Amino acid sequence: MEKLVYLLRTNGDGDALREALLGESVPALRGEGARRLTVCVSDGAVTREGAPRIAQLDPKIAAEVCFWLENSDDRAGCEAILGAKAEAIEGYLALESVPIVSEERLRCDGKRSRGFTLVTAITKLPSIDYETFLRIWHEDHKLVARETQRSFSYVRNTLVRSLTDGAPGFAGIVEEGFPIEALGDQRVWYDSPDDEAIFEANRARMMESCQRFLDLGAIDSHPMSEYLLPD
């Protein structure tokens, strides 16, 4: 089995996209052999002033759809299904690791996951080599993220290669689950609602870690509602 990750780009209505993906695309993808489907969408539940969003592309990234196929060579039908719901799609073959397993991932019942999921496409810092990038991201930064943030899920997709023509050269796509309150309150995000010193220390430690391996000017990051779907 191989994991495929698709970013759907559109400036259309997020709630309508969610309904179309869950109601129409998911059954059609299953018919093409897709398994272990995850759908994340920037819908009305996560759209509010002050939400942490970094949009580099136009049309913007509005959804992420992940699934597993026996053979990624047989993806044409899946891409046609997803392409019908967006102005553009960007596909990648990924290696998945899950440093923090959520309760929702264990249940996988198709209901909306609690809080919100921050879907972030990342690019390697040009001044470091790929092996250094992977070491910092997979080893050092993992610990920093777990120790400074109030995240309850963490899925790390290391991208192997692009599957669609012209896809941006992202090195990875990360999905992190946070309490819904963190959408507008960084103190909740950095697990320090009542302590200014801890907040500043956690935020500084996270930023310092990111600067070691990420091209921060090329990050694309969006809060989304997550649906983990049963087979």
Query: Residue 172 is part of a domain; what is its CATH number?
Result: 3.30.70.100
112-150 tens-digit pLDDT:
999 999 999 999 999 999 999 999 999 999 999 999 999
Domain limits at 151?
2-228
Structural domain count, the chain:
1
pLDDT band at 184 (very low <50, low <70, confident <90, very high): confident
3-state secondary structure of 204: helix
pLDDT band at 205 (very low <50, low <70, confident <90, very high): very high
Q: What is the pTM of this model?
A: 0.96
3-state secondary structure of 161: strand
Average pLDDT of the chain? Answer: 95
- Mean pLDDT of the region 165-179: 96
Max Cα distance, the chain (Å): 53
CA distance 167 to 64: 14
CA distance 215 to 20: 34
What's the token pair of residue 123?
A: 């690019």
What's the token pair of residue 76?
A: 């044409």
63-88 tens-digit pLDDT:
999 999 999 999 999 999 999 999 99
CA distance 13 to 65: 17
pLDDT of residue 51: 77
Q: Has residue 100 got a pLDDT over 80?
A: yes
Q: Which residue has tokens 């709630």?
A: 15
